[in-house]
Structure 1
């Protein structure tokens, strides 16, 4: 059994941002020559997440608008009255209740088993941020 871990560093530029990281994950996976196993992606943040969804310009715009409406910034949340790190980001934590901190993608016959329309996204909910991390762990047989 082979294991490989990597940290992908990201910089976000918008308050809410959806970043396609499919190519980076596939490149990391390709270097390991795994025939069967799993690629696990994990965000160690409480206001940034990982998601599998369709990459289409208008859909991504719809996603941004939906997330913004789901929990509007500055709506009088208690967390914003006494923020732990000085950021009024209760909206980001609340949206995060509906998102995943991790995703697992099966590997078979040397390929990530993503659906035809699936891409891998890092979703920032409290940006911009200079430094974000996504943990990539690949396990399987060569």
Structure 2
């Protein structure tokens, strides 16, 4: 069986935000799936998705510091600057981290590890709402 939902997340500040609960709540059919996959796709080019540590907010802040250091806003070599100093760096960060996740589903639940959570990685200072397409398949 296949199910698909679109989830719109409200605008968030730049940073790495846990959105696991919002995603799970947006897919009521999880309970029907014994074994399957959830594909999560973000419909934007300046935000991304990843899975990592869900307990310590220090990890999320360290992710942000690392990426801001590796791809700084306003680097003079960037040509694409019409949308602001943070736009091209946001595109690069989004490409490095990626626009999608494919996650296992087992016994009606995401089969994440004990300390794993899904992050929305917001790379813009003034972001808009972000849309995720959630596609669940399984038996």
TM-score (norm 1): 0.85
Give the corresponding residue for 2:65: 65
Deviations 1:113-137 (A, max 9, x none): 1112110111111232232111111
Aligned partners of 1:13 and 1:23: how far apart in 2?
16
Q: For 2:89, what is the secondary structure of its paired residue?
A: helix
Structure 1 unaligned spans of 5+: none
How many residues end up aligned between the 2 structures? Answer: 134
Give the corresponding residue for 1:78: 79
Q: For 1:92, what is the secondary structure of its paired residue?
A: helix
Q: CA deviation at 1:139?
A: 1.0
Is residue 5 from structure 1 mapped to residue 4 from structure 2 by the alignment?
yes
Contact persistence 2:15–2:60 (CA under 8 A): no
Q: 1:100 to 1:12 in 2, by over 3 A?
A: same
Superposed CA RMSD in Å reads 1.5
Structure 2 unaligned spans of 5+: none
Give the corresponding residue for 2:127: 129
Give the corresponding residue for 2:137: 139
Q: For 1:97, what is the secondary structure of its paired residue?
A: helix
Q: CA deviation at 1:95?
A: 1.8
TM-score (norm 2): 0.87
Aligned partners of 1:43 and 1:13: how far apart in 2?
14
- Counterpart selection for 2:23 from 22, 25, 32: 25
